[in-house]
């Protein structure tokens, strides 16, 4: 299962946001990858997510495979659409 979500928070996928995304991804029983421009990384790895350097306006590609793939995609999309809880 896959989807695309635009990073809308002001600071993009910075350290705190990457930590929130990877912690959320780790709660699901499935393989989850995130990426941009054709490059996918392990969404359960904070460092890998930070290396994407996904700024505000970046379209993030999410791919999940496994028993909880739908729940994972929905939860991660909601986190991103909520600006990682940052308000901006």
One of 8, 14, 45, 68 is an active-site residue; which one? 14
Domain of 59 in residue numbering reads as 2-85
Predicted confidence band at 87 (pLDDT cuts at 50, 70, 90)?
confident
61 tagged catalytic: no
pLDDT digit string, tens, across residues 22-80: 999 999 999 999 999 999 999 999 999 999 999 999 999 999 999 999 999 999 999 99
Using CA atoms, how far residue 46 sits from 28, 67, in Å, is 16, 23
CATH number at residue 14: 3.30.1340.10
Number of domains in the chain: 1
Nearest to 61 by CA among 81, 37, 85: 37
This model's pTM is above 0.85: yes
């Amino acid at each position: 299962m896959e989807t695309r979500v635009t990073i809308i928070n002001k600071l993009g996928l910075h350290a705190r946001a990457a930590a929130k995304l990877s912690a959320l991804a780790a709660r699901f029983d499935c393989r989850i990858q995130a990426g941009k421009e054709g490059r996918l990384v392990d969404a359960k790895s904070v460092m890998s997510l930070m290396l994407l350097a996904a700024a505000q306006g970046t379209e993030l590609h999410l791919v999940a495979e496994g028993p909880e793939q739908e729940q994972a995609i929905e939860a991660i999309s909601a986190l991103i659409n909520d600006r990682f809880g940052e308000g901006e």
